[in-house]
Structure 1
Amino acid sequence: MGILEGKKLLVTGVLMDSSIAFHVAKIAQEEGAEVVLTSFGRTMKITQTIAKRLPSTPEVLELDVSDQGHLDSLAERLGQQVDRLDGVLHSIGFAPPGAFNFLEGTWEDVSTALHVSAYSLKSLAAAALPVMGHGGSIVGLTFDAQFAWPVYDWMGVAKAAFESTNRYLARDLGPKGIRCNLVSAGPIRTTAAKSIPGFEQFEQTWHDRAPLGWDIRDAVPAARACAALLSDWFPATTGEIVHVDGGVHAMGQ
């Protein structure tokens, strides 16, 4: 029996078969879970195509986390696919190009980054809440926000807000028996990474700094951590950030 046997999970952010979200969905199915994916707009067809590479092809629901109508109808639409929800993976992030210039980024750029990359954790949790019961788990993906990284700029600020949002969700959803945790992964060559100018700076140095080494093409370690947090194996853990970065977070400069 797998660690996710019988679980019903919602997984966002599947755009490439090399992504963490894709591997979370794959591992979840292999561990016995039923998975529903989300996508929206022009990326729907991409997600539907990539979904066919999973062990079992899941349904793909339309969800733009900046569209309140999509959020308001999510629980009802999920109810047409599953009888309940046991877990959610938040793998969503976006910032306009201007947000990657800290001093010149406009509020329009920054507000978009904060809305999609931080506030959406609360939005998604609230939207899923009507169909999620005691023992549920919300897991999000972050990139360590305790430092001012090269090139990350306002997305780094958004990740700091994201991590704070996780703690407040843990506070407010804990009495309902729902856990909220994050996985802080090292750099993975994903769609999100490709959208960040100069992201190759991380790729060039991360392996050398990581005590365990780091493979930017291997999303499986982070995905396994997500799967574990979505399972019942961490029943008393919430508000936490689990680092899956080869140990870089613990090393000095």
Structure 2
Amino acid sequence: MGILDGKRILVAGVTMESSIGFATARVAQEQGAEVLISNFGRALGITRRIAKRLPTEPPVLELDVTDQSHLDSLAEQVREHVDGLDGVVHSIAYGNPATLLGGKFLSGPWEDVAQAVQVSAYSLKSLAVAARPLMGAGGSLVGLTFDATTAWPAYDWMGVAKAGLESTSRYLARDLGPDGIRCNLVSAGPLKTLAAKAIPGFEDLESAWKERAPLGWDETDHTPTARAVVALLSDFFPATTGEIVHVDGGFHAMGL
């Protein structure tokens, strides 16, 4: 028996085997879920290949959360495989590393900032609205953040985008709660992912975590974060919404 037995879960934004989305899809399957994953564009072929490395090869949907036609067709795509959804994972973020990260806060151009906010924050709302008709009996929406209460070295405009994501999640919790849909975020410590490799100075965050996280921190281990996401997708948190669960070894609670 798994905590997601009988659940139908969409994990949006699975690109590489090293992604949090991939780890979440794996743990969700291990806990009994029927999983679908998504990506778009040139990355879609990569997603289809790495899908074969999951315990059970899942359907791969084409979904660009900035393309309204893709959002409009999501319900139809999902219903080709399952008759509805019990949970959706938002594992999506992007900010141009050449203009928005690594000390570029004061020079970051609006066009790139707007793209980062749309892809990384507004898309949570877009995905929620697109999935809402599939979640008739309620369900769980879970996104991934990196603690936006602090101005981190090198993170710059992605920190602003994550702050927008965190606020968006709270408003979704308010507006989707009457439908029985919970919306929560998991705030992970720094993990080695494709996105992290693009952040100049990311190694400094890794070293800080190793020094200050009371439980320690392994930036190569995605499973603790994936387990937290799966727990929030399950029925074990029926009255929790608008929350941010930290999976960071306790770093967020420590002072200097």
Indicate whether the TM-score tops 0.5. Answer: yes
Corresponding residue number in structure 2 for 1:48: 48
Secondary structure, aligned partner of 1:133? coil
| 1:164 to 2:146 alignment | no
Corresponding residue number in structure 2 for 1:99: 100
Structure 1 consecutive aligned stretches of length 4 or more whose deviation exceeds 2 Å: none
Cα offset for 1:203? 1.4
Corresponding residue number in structure 2 for 1:224: 227
| 1:175 to 2:178 alignment | yes
Please give the residue correspondences for 1:97-136 in structure 2 after superposition, counting only pairs within 5 Å.
97-100=98-101, 101-136=104-139
Q: 1:161, 1:65 → 2: CA distance? A: 16
> Does the 8 Å CA contact 2:18/2:194 hold for their aligned counterparts?
no
What is the percent sequence identity of the aligned residues? 68
| 1:184-203 alpha-carbon deviations (Å, 9 max, x no partner) | 00000001101212211111
Between 96-105 and 160-169, the greater mean CA deviation after superposition: 96-105
Corresponding residue number in structure 1 for 2:203: 200
Please give the residue correspondences for 1:1-253 in structure 2 after superposition, counting only pairs within 5 Å.
1-96=1-96, 97-100=98-101, 101-253=104-256
Q: 1:64, 1:201 → 2: CA distance? A: 32
Q: 1:211, 1:93 → 2: CA distance? A: 28
> Does the 8 Å CA contact 1:14/1:50 hold for their aligned counterparts?
no
> Does the 8 Å CA contact 1:93/1:117 hold for their aligned counterparts?
yes
| 1:13-37 alpha-carbon deviations (Å, 9 max, x no partner) | 2222222111111111111110000
Q: 1:224, 1:245 → 2: CA distance? A: 13
> Does the 8 Å CA contact 2:231/2:237 hold for their aligned counterparts?
yes
Letter in 2 for 1:99: L
Unaligned runs of 5+ in 2: none
Cα offset for 1:133? 2.2
Unaligned runs of 5+ in 1: none
Q: 2:105, 2:19 → 1: CA distance? A: 27
> Does the 8 Å CA contact 2:66/2:118 hold for their aligned counterparts?
yes
Cα offset for 1:168? 0.1
> Does the 8 Å CA contact 2:92/2:119 hold for their aligned counterparts?
yes
| 1:67-91 alpha-carbon deviations (Å, 9 max, x no partner) | 1110111111111111110000000
Q: 2:109, 2:192 → 1: CA distance? A: 27
Q: 1:129, 1:13 → 2: CA distance? A: 18
Secondary structure, aligned partner of 2:54? coil
What RMSD, in angstroms, separates the aligned Cα atoms of the two structures?
0.8
Q: 1:133, 1:214 → 2: CA distance? A: 39
Between Structure 1 and Structure 2, how many residues are aligned?
Answer: 253
Normalising by structure 1, we get a TM-score of 0.98
Normalising by structure 2, we get a TM-score of 0.97
Cα offset for 1:103? 0.2
Cα offset for 1:135? 3.3
Q: 1:200, 1:108 → 2: CA distance? A: 28
Q: 1:45, 1:19 → 2: CA distance? A: 16
> Does the 8 Å CA contact 1:133/1:178 hold for their aligned counterparts?
no
Q: 1:135, 1:232 → 2: CA distance? A: 11
